[in-house]
Structure 1
């Protein structure tokens, strides 16, 4: 990267990049989301994101969704590092499994982002796919109500991809992006959910793959590693900060964080003052 050999970097991320923002990942024993679903009365943890289970009983997901909706958490250093890749003209695309919206919140442009498992930004009927106002869906869910489709009366849900649903069309940009990549950066993922997990195997064999993660996962569990595969394990935010320091980017990332946080705080204050101004 310092020599300018990496100009089309593809980033692949999972829930681990958001734990530093206070959002639990899915699979960590004891603290992960799947380990704390007893109160939702589901037959097995993953069923809360299963479309057939949702069809029969949407309430467990809606109860969980109240805590998952964007707005309560801020992007962290890792998100801003990815944005720095974009600012420096090196980011081809970032593919995320996350539905927390923190990539957008930190300023990564829409055309550089693939939210492979959807997001809360839009909503639609889970049966007939009729669009539904996302703000109205959120208001109903926050008030323990089930938003229903005006066309077929089925339950409406945020456009988060459940097990058993099709991936968003944008996901299929991977067929163009991964063959173009000259560096694959993988962070904060268990690489257990298909077909997302297999994306990392679609870059050219000569392309370096760097895993920054808590544990070795997927093809990085093999011994010996494939030539051009590299692994650094530990606390992800610490690893990414070290990486940025090696590149001489730490000040750039931190300055971007300060500027974006100031902008978000200013926007929030303006929104809070609007009702008073109108009255």
Structure 2
């Protein structure tokens, strides 16, 4: 990560101030101790087939297995805390450089960091809802039930509950349409910690005149980006804050 690259990103943000939006992926949260999904050797999907265990089909056909793996994979995430990358994006929003964050993550760390406008295009881990009556519960209550029974149920009607996340086989939520609209209003997308390989969220990186990418590994969109910085989200964005006199 060269100083000139950091300066270039800061200048790009300044030139598009108020007309930029961030797009984040799993790479920003690895610095909070949350494993990503697709990295060779360490990605979660190297040891768990999500279509087999964490899809809509699994939820309905094998609910006990679904919840067993869901709690194992995502339960620890509830205790995670935001890192310097999340905090930097919140500062960029507060200072007016970006209008919000579109995230592929379900961990809620952007909100914990203070980001106000967050489009959670894959849902979130905060709650579950009853598939019969629609009542919403904190995720922590569902996970607590799993210590006593194999499938969490609604305390009102006894119906089965499901996480408020986008599972494999689900339709995209309303937040995705809102994210598309946010990108259409923007002149710059700042990608942070995303491999840009997951559809349809990756398409958002190709819909604005200007693109900046902060990621440890190359992405399919590097060739059209104005600026590409190879590095961690925390160090890189903290350096950008200093360049913008926000640190």
TM-score category (smaller protein)? 0.7 to 0.9
| SS across alignment from 1:74 | coil
The equivalent residue for 1:200 is: 205
Deviation at 1:160, TM superposition (A): 0.7
| 1:177 CA displacement | 1.3
1:74 and 1:150 mapped to 2: Cα distance?
30
Is 1:130 the counterpart of 2:134 in the alignment? yes
For 1:60 and 1:79, the matched residues in 2 are separated by: 33
Alpha-carbon deviation of 1:94? 0.7
The equivalences for 1:173-252 within 5 A come to 173-203=178-208, 207-220=209-222, 225-226=223-224, 229-249=226-246, 251=247
Name stretches of at least 5 consecutive residues in structure 2 with no aligned partner: 1-9
Q: 1:181 to 1:129 in 2, by over 3 A?
A: farther
Segments of 5+ residues of structure 1 without an aligned counterpart are: 38-43, 252-279
Secondary structure class of the residue paired with 1:171: helix
Trace 1:1-279 onto structure 2 (pairs within 5 A): 1-2=10-11, 4-6=14-16, 7-37=18-48, 44-67=49-72, 68-69=74-75, 70-109=77-116, 112-125=117-130, 130-134=134-138, 135-143=140-148, 145-148=150-153, 155-203=160-208, 207-220=209-222, 225-226=223-224, 229-249=226-246, 251=247
Return the alpha-carbon distance in structure 1 between the equivalents of residues 30 and 206 of structure 2: 26
SS of the counterpart of 1:92? Answer: coil
CA distance in 2, matches of 1:165, 1:64: 18
8 Å contact from structure 2 (residues 58, 65) kept in 1: no
Would the aligned equivalents of 1:13 and 1:187 in 2 still touch at CA under 8 Å?
yes
Deviation at 1:184, TM superposition (A): 1.0
* Cα deviations by residue, 1:241-275 (Å, 9 ceiling, x for unpaired): 332232233x3xxxxxxxxxxxxxxxxxxxxxxxx
Q: Which has the higher contact order (CA 8 A, sep 6+)?
A: 2
Tell whether the 8 Å contact from 1:35 to 1:45 is kept in structure 2 after alignment.
no
| CA offset digits 1:189-233 (Å, max 9, x no partner) | 122221111111222xxx32011001121322xxxx23x532111
Bigger radius of gyration: 1
Query: Structure 1 residues 14 and 47, CA, compared in 2 at 3 Å: closer, same or farther?
Result: farther
* Equivalent in the alignment of 1:274: none
When the two structures are superposed, what TM-score results if normalisation uses the length of structure 2?
Answer: 0.83
Q: Distance in 2 between matches of 1:16 and 1:129?
A: 36
Q: Output the aligned Cα RMSD.
A: 2.4
Question: C-alpha displacement at 1:129, in angstroms?
Answer: 7.2
- Give the superposition deviation at 1:157: 1.6
The 1-side partners of 2:26 and 2:114 are apart by: 18
Deviation at 1:20, TM superposition (A): 0.6
Quick one: distance in 2 between partners of 1:238 and 1:16?
13
Please name the residue that 1:266 is paired with.
none
